[in-house]
Structures are given as C-alpha cells and as structure tokens.
C-alpha cells in the first residue's frame, strides 16, 4: 500500500471566505499549529500578481512576498506549498525553489486551459519546485478529455495530480470512476490526490473511501480546519487526521489542530459561514455553478420547484461557467408563461366595474393603521384585495398572487381560513390544489420600463385600468428602505438594499405610476414613500 499524506488548505481555500484577510497573528497561529500537528503538507496561500503585498493576507503577488509571511517560522517535517490559478501569476513572479520558503506549487486550471497550464507547470518544475497538477471541476471532463490530460501529466512527471471536485458533485461511484481511470494511466511515481467540497455532505465520506482503496502509489488527501473553504467547504482535516490515527496509519497530534480551531477558526466562523447549505445542495443537485442559485433565490419570487425548473434548462456547457445575462434570460422566459386570460378578465370586469377597490400591501403600516383601514372598508363598501400576503385582522375578498415563493408560504394559511378569498394568480404561479379562481397573463402586466418590472402593486394597478373601477385606495405599500430597517409585516419578506438603491426604486415606482396614468382616482390610506412630495 502506498503512503497516505494529508494536505491542509485552510490558509488558501479558506481565504475565499474572508478575501484571504486572516490577519498576520492568525496566519502565524494557524500555520504553527498545523506544523506542530505533523501534517505532511501545508498550503500557505495563493500567488496572484493582481493583489498587493500585505502581511495580513495569504494571497500575495509573488513568491518573495509569500515567503516573507513564513520565512522565520519552523516548517517542522511538513512540505510547504503555494497555489497559482493559471493565468494570475506569471513565471517572472516566482523565484527558483532554492531561494524560496516554498517546497512546491500547486497549479489549478479549467479544462479548456489544460494544455497551456501544463506548459506552465513545466516552467515551475524547471525552477526546482515539486509541482502539483490540480484539475478543477473534474466532473466537467469526459473520459477522453481526462485521458488527454493524464497523458500530458505523464510527460510532465509532477509530484502529484489531484482530482478537484470544485462544486461537490461527486458521489462514491463517480469518484471511483475518475480515480481508477487516473490510477490506471498515471505513472506509478506520480502521487494521486483528491480535493473535495461538501455540497452533498460527501467530502469526508469520499475521502475515507479513497483511504481504504489501498492503492500502491502515494495518496494525497486535502482537508481544512473545521472544513473551512469555498462554497460548502472541504473535508475537515481534524476528522481525517483522527481517522488515520485510529486506524494505525499515522500519529498526527490532533490536539494542535483543535487548538487552531478553538483559538482562530471559530472566531472567523462567527463572521462568515461555510458548510452544507440549501444553496449549495441545489447547485450540486443541478450540476451547476452556485451563483445561478444565488441569483434566482435573491429574486425572492420563486419557489424551490420553480428554481429547479429554471436550473434544469441551463445548457450543459453553461452549467459550471456562471453567466448573469444568461440566467436572467432564463428567469424572464420562465416567468412569462402564457395563458388565455380573456375569459377571466371579463369575469373580473363584471365584478369590479364601477366599484371602489382597496389594495393592501405587506407594509408595517397596515398593522399600525388597522382601524382606519377597516373604517374605510365599511364606509366605501370596498372590494378588498391583498397582494402576495394575508393580513391578520382585515377581511379580504381577493388575494392577488404574482410571487410563486409567497404562494407556497401562504398555502397552509389559506387552507386554514374559513372565509377563503378568491385567488387571482399570474401565469408564473402553479397551484398546489384545484387551481385558481382567475388566471392572468404574467407578461401582460409587467412594466418593462421599470427597474423592477414585476412590482406587484404596479401589476395590479395596471390590471385595474382594464376593469373600469371607480376608485382605488392603497394601504401597506410603504416603499423600499435600506436592509437594516424592518418595513414588512413578515420579516421573511424583507429585501436587502442599500439606502441609495432603495431610494432609486421608490422614485422609479412613482415614475411607473405616472407613466401608467391610471384613469381612476387613487389615494394612499397609509404613509408611503411612493407618494409624490
């Protein structure tokens, strides 16, 4: 059986969470604890010429700058390595190994850059470093593409080659396929490694599977303190070290790792989060970049089902390369589901024509002005419509639903109501039961010139123009405020905006109302930032 070595990547991969700003004291503390634990390899940071020299950061513009962080610290028995993301650090910024604190350099690269990256690895090797070839997004490789890469690696003869599961997509069988293919083709002198991510909670389990594989070549397993790392994080190095100790394969001093976690990593954890999460699970289950999920979730208008349906439409070549314009196009196309709403609009016109309408939004002012709103309802015999929420103490005749996520959240409450309001839903919302009383074309109600094209208040005001109502009162449309201020009845409905962005949106809503020029009289029963001063 080949030797098993653990490599810690906290100071490099963990830096994605704090922009590599660990602070010099914490860098030293983490490093010295890792060395004292007896770990085989320690990755101490990135080389990236786009960053300045800064002793508080573990990303440095050149090898000399990275050396200065550690040059007076003992390396113990550990091999010390840095990392270069191919294309971010030229060979001119790397001194010969004999002049450097670093023993090795790991080079990461995307599939389409593999030939150029391996040529760069030859230059690194010529400087005397142990070279590690890191194939990121290994799941993007076909067997033929991986064989092509492995042939290039054999020509290079680096210290090691690692399978990098960048988005945590691998389960056991898939991992073993890539691993066994690599083990079969690679020269026996080349170490074979694995860098995991925890989107599916598989990082530690997959590492154990490889450890128990009993291959004859050297095996490299990456981990980080407390699993700290990009997106869903990595396999926890303290667990891996404990497992190897318990199975008689090593004698790491795990208590040093625990001290590093207790004195430094837990404090970082209070400021930034990592590990398994809903977002990273959804991205992994759709084999796509997590930014696609973030973009759709930030809309706060899509159910989990709808998010998955959009992600399923992403073209294979786009999945792992985030494209904001592309996902926006998919989102808009998904929302613009068409339906024939002529009949339902005719029915609504019959019920609303010539009537006074009270439109309720989810702003806190509804609760503050509850008595006034009820008096207005009674005095004017209004048809009362709530928008994407159900008020607690005010009776409503209709519920307008244009937000799929809100509808899912409201479904249980709707089922419990004795006097259920009639549901008016736009075509982007799917019913959980027998259907809606009225279905309207989502796209026909949009204000394409607005910053938020599907503002539900504007959408319903646009509909009311077609229903020939006599007048409209608005309550609970308080307007957008910066994220630190709560402005909704339900905190789950809050959006995160800067003060400047909130003001811009409020002004844009006022412009939308003027542009739509309602042909009915309207007034605000509660204070609103949409009121023209």
Q: Could you tell me if residue 532 is inside a domain?
A: no
Separation of alpha carbons 234 and 240, rounded Å: 11
Do 59 and 207 fall within a single domain?
A: yes
494 pLDDT tier (thresholds 50, 70, 90): very low
- For the record, the structure tokens of 250 come out as 């090593």
Q: Render pLDDT for 18-43 as a digit per residue (tens, 0 to 9).
A: 999 999 999 999 999 999 999 999 99
Q: How many helices (H) and strands (E) does the chain have?
A: 21, 16
- For the record, the structure tokens of 304 come out as 């989990």
pTM exceeding 0.75: no
Q: Could you tell me if residue 489 is inside a domain?
A: yes
The domain that holds 445 is classified in CATH as: 3.40.50
Q: What's the average model confidence in pLDDT over 363-389?
A: 95
- For the record, the structure tokens of 8 come out as 């810690």
Q: Render pLDDT for 500-510 as a digit per residue (tens, 0 to 9).
A: 888 889 998 99
The string of DSSP letters for 257-299 reads HHHHIIIIIHHHHHHS--SS-HHHHHHHHTTS-HHHHHHHHHT
The kind and range of the H/E element at 140 are none
pLDDT for residue 483: 52
Domain boundary among 229, 247, 271: 271
Q: What's the average model confidence in pLDDT over 399-419?
A: 89
Q: Could you tell me if residue 492 is inside a domain?
A: yes
More confident residue, 475 or 434: 475
Q: Render pLDDT for 59-94 as a digit per residue (tens, 0 to 9).
A: 999 999 999 999 999 999 999 999 999 999 999 999
Identify the residue whose tokens are 């398994």: 276
Domain around 283: 278-335
Q: What are phi and psi of 83, to 5 degrees?
A: -135, 145
How many C-beta neighbours within 10 Å does residue 259 have? 16
Q: In angstroms, how far apart are the furthest CA atoms of the chain?
A: 89
Domain boundary among 315, 335, 355: 335
Separation of alpha carbons 382 and 376, rounded Å: 8
Q: Could you tell me if residue 432 is inside a domain?
A: yes
> Minimal CA–CA distance to 206: which of 217, 215, 198?
198
Q: Could you tell me if residue 509 is inside a domain?
A: yes
Residue 432: is its pLDDT beyond 70? yes
Do 323 and 446 fall within a single domain?
A: no
pLDDT for residue 408: 86
pLDDT for residue 87: 97
Do 262 and 299 fall within a single domain?
A: no
Do 462 and 391 fall within a single domain?
A: yes
Do 176 and 292 fall within a single domain?
A: no
CB neighbour class for 216 (10 Å; exposed up to 12, middle 13-18, buried from 19): exposed
Do 375 and 474 fall within a single domain?
A: yes
Do 253 and 374 fall within a single domain?
A: no
Do 265 and 282 fall within a single domain?
A: no
Do 150 and 216 fall within a single domain?
A: yes
Mean pLDDT of the chain: 93
Identify the residue whose tokens are 């089902």: 305
pLDDT for residue 251: 97
Do 31 and 98 fall within a single domain?
A: yes
Do 266 and 284 fall within a single domain?
A: no
Q: Could you tell me if residue 530 is inside a domain?
A: no
Q: What are phi and psi of 346, to 5 degrees?
A: -65, -40
Number of domains in the chain: 3
Q: Could you tell me if residue 221 is inside a domain?
A: yes
The domain that holds 47 is classified in CATH as: 3.20.20.70
Domain boundary among 222, 250, 271: 271
Do 113 and 255 fall within a single domain?
A: yes
Q: Could you tell me if residue 206 is inside a domain?
A: yes
């Amino acid at each position: 059986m080949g030797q098993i070595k653990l490599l810690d990547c906290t100071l490099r991969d963990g830096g994605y969470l704090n922009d590599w700003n660990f602070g010099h004291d914490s860098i030293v503390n983490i490093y010295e604890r890792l060395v004292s634990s007896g770990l085989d390899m320690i990755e101490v940071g990135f080389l990236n010429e786009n960053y300045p020299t800064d002793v508080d950061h573990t990303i440095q513009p050149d090898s000399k700058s990275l050396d200065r962080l550690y040059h007076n610290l003992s390396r113990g028995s550990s091999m010390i390595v840095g990392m270069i993301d191919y294309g971010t650090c030229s060979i001119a910024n790397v001194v010969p190994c004999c002049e450097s604190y670093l023993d090795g350099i790991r080079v990461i690269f995307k599939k389409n850059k593999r030939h150029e990256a391996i040529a760069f690895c030859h230059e690194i090797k010529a400087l005397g470093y142990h070279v590690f070839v890191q194939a990121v997004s290994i799941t993007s490789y076909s067997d033929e593409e991986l064989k092509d890469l492995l042939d290039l690696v054999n020509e290079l003869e680096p210290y090691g080659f690692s399978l990098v599961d960048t988005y945590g997509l691998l389960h056991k069988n898939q991992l073993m396929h890539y691993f066994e293919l690599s083990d079969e083709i690679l020269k026996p002198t080349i170490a074979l490694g694995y860098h995991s991510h925890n989107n599916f909670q598989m990082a530690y389990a997959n590492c154990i599977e490889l450890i128990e594989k009993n291959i004859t070549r050297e095996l490299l397993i990456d981990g980080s303190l407390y699993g700290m790392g990009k997106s869903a994080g990595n396999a926890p190095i303290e667990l891996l070290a404990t497992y190897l100790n318990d199975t008689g394969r090593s004698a790491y001093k795990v208590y040093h790792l625990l001290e590093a976690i207790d004195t430094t990593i837990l404090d970082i954890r209070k400021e930034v989060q990592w590990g398994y999460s809903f977002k990273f699970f959804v991205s992994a289950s759709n084999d796509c970049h997590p930014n696609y999920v973030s973009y759709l979730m930030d809309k706060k208008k899509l159910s989990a089902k709808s998010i998955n349906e959009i992600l399923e439409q992403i073209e294979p070549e786009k999945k792992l390369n985030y494209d904001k314009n592309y996902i926006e196009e998919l989102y808009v196309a998904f929302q613009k589901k068409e339906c024939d709403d002529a009949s339902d609009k005719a029915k609504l016109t019959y019920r609303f024509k010539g009537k006074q309408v009270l439109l309720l939004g989810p702003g806190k002012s509804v609760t503050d002005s509850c008595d006034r709103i009820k008096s207005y309802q009674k005095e004017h015999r209004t048809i009362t419509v709530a928008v994407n929420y159900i008020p607690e103490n005010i009776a409503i005749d209709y519920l307008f639903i244009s937000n799929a996520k809100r509808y899912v959240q409201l479904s249980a409450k709707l089922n419990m109501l004795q006097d259920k309001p009639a549901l008016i839903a736009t075509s982007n919302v799917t019913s959980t039961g027998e259907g809606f009383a009225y279905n309207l074309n989502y796209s026909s109600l949009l204000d394409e010139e607005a910053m938020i094209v599907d503002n539900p208040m504007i959408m319903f005001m646009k509909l009311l123009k077609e229903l020939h109502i006599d007048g409209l009162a608005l309550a609970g449309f308080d307007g957008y405020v910066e994220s630190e201020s709560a402005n909704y009845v339900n905190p789950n409905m809050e959006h995160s905006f800067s003060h400047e962005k909130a003001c811009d949106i409020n002004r844009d809503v006022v412009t939308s109302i003027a542009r739509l020029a309602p042909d009915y009289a309207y007034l605000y029963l509660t204070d609103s930032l949409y009121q023209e001063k």
